[in-house]
Amino acid sequence: MMSRLLPAVSGRVPGVPPTPAMARVVGLLAHRWFSGAFRGPLQVIRCPAPQLHVSGPAMAASQEDFAKAMNQVKLLKEDPGNEVKLKLYALYKQATEGPCNAPKPGMLDFILKAKWDAWNALGNLPKETARQNYVDLVSSLSASSCSQVTPAADKKQAESDSLVVTSEDGITTIRLNRPAKKNALTTQMYRDIMRALEAASEDSSRITVLTGSGDYYCSGNDLSNFKDIPPDKVEERAQSSAVLLRDFVDCFIDFPKPLIAVVNGPAVGISVTLLGLFDVVYASDRATFHTPFSHLGQSPEGCSSYIFPKMMGPSKAAEMLIFGKKLTAREALAQGLVTAVFPDDTFQKEVWARLKAYAKLPPNAMRIAKRLMRHQEKEKLHAVNAEESRVLAERWVSDECITAIVAFLSKKAKL
C-alpha cells in the first residue's frame, strides 16, 4: 500500500535558502550560544506490550533504522489516512533527496500537488532529521495500540519518568512528570506527547487528560532545548524545531476525542497557548496563565494568535500575547480560557469525580459532538499553526530571543 507513496518526482528548480538576514544574525550571534554536552534524563512512556519507548538525548536514526521503518510501513495493518501518508512521503523524500527542488505541479494535478506541498513544506530540514522523524512517525503508527492501564509494577519507577501515560476508567491520562524542572517540555517530551496522543486517539478510552505532577502544570518549552547547538547548526535546528512544533500542535488540532486539561498549578508559554485547542480546561485556584513571548523575543504559537483574540477579544488577547500579562485562574475563567476553577485543596477530588462521570458517556456521541464543533475551523487552524511555526523559526535565531535565552540559562533572568 505505502510503496505507492514513494514514486520519484523529477525535475529541478532552485530551492528555498534561509533569508540573508537570518544567516547574518546566526553568524553574528552564534558565538554566544552555550556549548558542552547535554545530559538529559531518560524519558519513558510506559505502556504494556507491544512497545515500550525509552529514549535519552535525541540521536539520529541510522540508515538501518530507516530501512527497517520503510519495511514496517508496508506491514501496517490499518491505513494511516492521507494526511499521515503525505507526511511519510514528504519525510521519505527529504531524507533521501533533501529539500524539494522539483517543479510545482499544476493546480489540477491534485495528488502530485498535495505530495509536492508536503515535501516543500519541510523547507531545509536536514536529511538526518527527516530520517529520524520518519522513523519516529512509523514507530508511533506501529505503537498506536499501546497505552492501557499502567501495570502496578511500573508505578514506582514511573516517578522518575518525564511523561507518564496511564489509562483507567475510560480516561487516558498524560502526565508531565518533571516536577523538579516545573514540567518544562524537552524535545523528547514533545515527541512522546505526540505518540501518547496518537495512541490515545485509538485506544479504548473515551476521554484524554493532560496534567502535571508537583506544584506546576508546566513551565513551557525547556529553554535548555536551545543549549549545545554548534554555531553552524543554529539555523538547521531552528528549522527542525519549527517542524516538530508544527507536528506537535497538529496532533492537538486533530485529536478526535474530548481532550481535557487539568491545570494543577502555574502554566507558562506553550502550555497556555495550547489550551485553546482543548475541549475543557479545569484549573486549580493556584494556577496562573503566563505567555511571556515578547520578554523572550519569541512569538505566540499553539494557534493562540488566532484563537485567543476570538475567545477573549483582541485587546485582552493583546495584553497576554504581546505584553505577557499573567492571568490568575479567575481572570482566565472570565476570559473563557478556563472552563471552571476549583479550590486547590479539593481540586483533584472534584475534577476527577467529574471526569469519571463524563467518561461513562457514549464515546461515539462525544466524538461526533466534538467533530461538529471543530471541523469547520480545522483547515484554518492548520494554516495558522504552519504560519506561527514558520515565524518562530525566524524568532529563534533573532538577537532578541538569543539574548533572553542566554540570560535565563546563565541564571541572570527568570520570569
Ligand X SMILES: CCCCCC/C=C/C(=O)SCCNC(=O)CCNC(=O)[C@H](O)C(C)(C)COP(=O)(O)OP(=O)(O)OC[C@H]1O[C@@H](n2cnc3c(N)ncnc32)[C@H](O)[C@@H]1OP(=O)(O)O
What are the residues binding ligand X (CB under 6 A)? 181-182, 184, 190, 219-224, 241, 244-245, 268-270, 296, 298, 301, 408, 414-415
Name the residue type at position 126. Answer: P
> DSSP assignment of 235-303, as one string?
HHHHHHHHHHHHHHHHHHHH--S-EEEEE-S-EETHHHHGGGGSSEEEEETT-EEE--TTTTT----TT
Whole-Å CA distances, 221 to 70, 254, 288, 334: 31, 21, 16, 26
Min dist CB 414 to ligand X, Å, is: 4
**Rounded Cα distance, 123 and 120, in Å:** 6
Burial 83-115 (b: 16+ CB within 10 A, else e): ebbbbbbbbbbbbeeebbebeebeeeeeeeebb
Q: Which is nearer to ligand X, 26 or 270 (CB)?
A: 270
For the beta carbon of residue 380, count every other beta carbon within 10 angstroms: 12
Min dist CB 130 to ligand X, Å, is: 16
**Rounded Cα distance, 63 and 26, in Å:** 30
Q: Which is nearer to ligand X, 181 or 354 (CB)?
A: 181
Min dist CB 230 to ligand X, Å, is: 18
**Rounded Cα distance, 56 and 38, in Å:** 10
- In degrees to the nearest 10, what's the CA dihedral of 222, 224, 225, 230? 170
Min dist CB 319 to ligand X, Å, is: 17
- In degrees to the nearest 10, what's the CA dihedral of 292, 295, 298, 304? 30
Q: Please report how the helices 82-97 and 110-120 are oriented relative to each other, as an axis angle in degrees rounded to 10.
A: 60
Min dist CB 110 to ligand X, Å, is: 31
Q: Which is nearer to ligand X, 80 or 269 (CB)?
A: 269
**Rounded Cα distance, 12 and 101, in Å:** 5
Min dist CB 128 to ligand X, Å, is: 17
Q: Which is nearer to ligand X, 201 or 241 (CB)?
A: 241
Min dist CB 331 to ligand X, Å, is: 18
Q: Which residue is nearest to ligand X (CB)?
A: 269
| Percentages of the chain per state (helix, strand, coil), in multiples of 5 | 55, 10, 35
Q: Which is nearer to ligand X, 224 or 339 (CB)?
A: 224
Min dist CB 104 to ligand X, Å, is: 28
Q: Which is nearer to ligand X, 148 or 221 (CB)?
A: 221
Q: Which is nearer to ligand X, 297 or 363 (CB)?
A: 297
Q: Which is nearer to ligand X, 386 or 415 (CB)?
A: 415
Min dist CB 103 to ligand X, Å, is: 31
Q: Which is nearer to ligand X, 99 or 292 (CB)?
A: 292
Q: Any residues with CB less than 8 A from the CB of 216 and at least 6 apart, and which?
A: 179, 182, 183, 264, 265, 266, 267
Q: Write phi, then psi, for 407 (nearest 5 degrees).
A: -60, -40
